Amino acid sequence: MSKVKNYLSLIKFSHTIFAMPFALIGFFLGCFSLHYGVIPGWHTLIFPESTRALYSPFILDTAAKFYIFKLILVILCMVFARSAAMAFNRYLDRKFDAKNPRTAIREIPAGIINEKNALTFVIVNCILFVATTFFINRICFYLSPVALFVILFYSYTKRFTALCHLVLGVGLSLAPIGAYLAVTGEFALLPILFSFAVVFWVSGFDIIYALQDEGFDKENQLYSIPSVMGKSKALGVSILLHVLSAACVMAAGFYGEFGIWYWIGVGVFVGMLLYQHSIVKPDDLSRVNVAFMTANGIASVVFAVFVLLDLFLS
């Protein structure tokens, strides 16, 4: 169990809270789109006409079993892809992490997990990710190497571009459109709007997180928005990105013709964006972790809950 905890710590498993809710949004959008071509009430999705009167949770039609199987595969893909990406980032940055007082306690520089085992963990998760997509559908299987390239390539970007935050955002933005593809096998505008929302949202809060290492990045020729532009301008860029993210979730709301539950979720999401910018200042980074983990965790989970409520109760 201690080894399991070490690897969960290595990949910061708790950070799954950022992308997973958006994957669920994409997944259920795909379910409704594939099954009906419209957004119906929840009971019409779960129960077939012939057994709906019985209203028993133990009676599931073939379609429901199909969706449950797909959901399990989507969750596995999310876990494998994120585990590979995070472990690879830790493996590649191990020497920088050892030099940085803030990150020297991480598992690889601290000697808790050795380099070889970390790299093996990355490879195993990559293989499991591709293998899982094989059981989803052809397009997901064919695109799986592309997805892996994006999420693994991010770990190199800080060495040559300050746009590394956007690359991270693109990597996490694959969650809603990937989950939608897993169900429908087709691209659609609505999940793409959610993907753009994720790109700008993640990029914005990653800039806030990178404020902590502004000096270290400069000293070690690493690129980030804070190290290139300074703290004040970096926070300005973060605000702009979060404005764009809010615009995307609003555009998705209008385009998808969502109801009141959705807009309550938008209110919470935007509120959490405003909150994190209110507690992080260029000369006061004491609450960066609250902004990074707490505010954004609430933003993603609560927003997803209200989106799903709108889907199932409308």
Residues in Cβ contact with 157 at an 8 Å cutoff, skipping those fewer than 6 apart = 163, 164, 167, 223
Instruction: Give 173-222 pLDDT, tens digit per residue.
Output: 999 999 999 999 999 999 999 999 999 999 999 999 999 999 999 999 99
Task: Output the CA angle 84-110-115, nearest 5 degrees.
Answer: 40
pTM for the predicted model, two decimal places:
0.90
The pLDDT confidence band at residue 20, using thresholds 50, 70 and 90, is very high
Q: Classify 281 in phi/psi space as left (phi over 0), alpha (psi -120 to 50) or beta.
A: beta
The pLDDT confidence band at residue 48, using thresholds 50, 70 and 90, is very low
Instruction: Give 60-117 pLDDT, tens digit per residue.
Output: 556 677 788 999 999 999 999 999 999 999 999 999 999 999 999 999 999 999 999 9
- Distance from C-alpha of 277 to C-alpha of 116, rounded to nearest angstrom: 40
Q: Which residue has the tokens 């990045």?
A: 217
Strand partners, 284: 281
- Coil, strand or helix at 284: strand
Q: How many CB atoms lie within 10 A of CB 32?
A: 19
Tell me the average pLDDT of the chain. Answer: 89
- Distance from C-alpha of 180 to C-alpha of 234, rounded to nearest angstrom: 33
Map out the domains of the chain as residue ranges.
Answer: 2-313
What's the pLDDT at 78?
94
On the question of pLDDT at 37 being above 70, the answer is no
**Domain range 2-313, CATH class:** mainly alpha
Q: Which of 215, 238, 239 is nearest to 228 (CA)?
A: 215
Instruction: Give 247-291 pLDDT, tens digit per residue.
Output: 999 999 999 999 999 999 999 999 999 999 999 999 999 999 888
What's the pLDDT at 12?
78
Contact between residue 258 and residue 303 where contact means Cβ atoms under 8 Å apart: no
- Coil, strand or helix at 32: helix
DSSP 177: H
- Distance from C-alpha of 248 to C-alpha of 193, rounded to nearest angstrom: 6
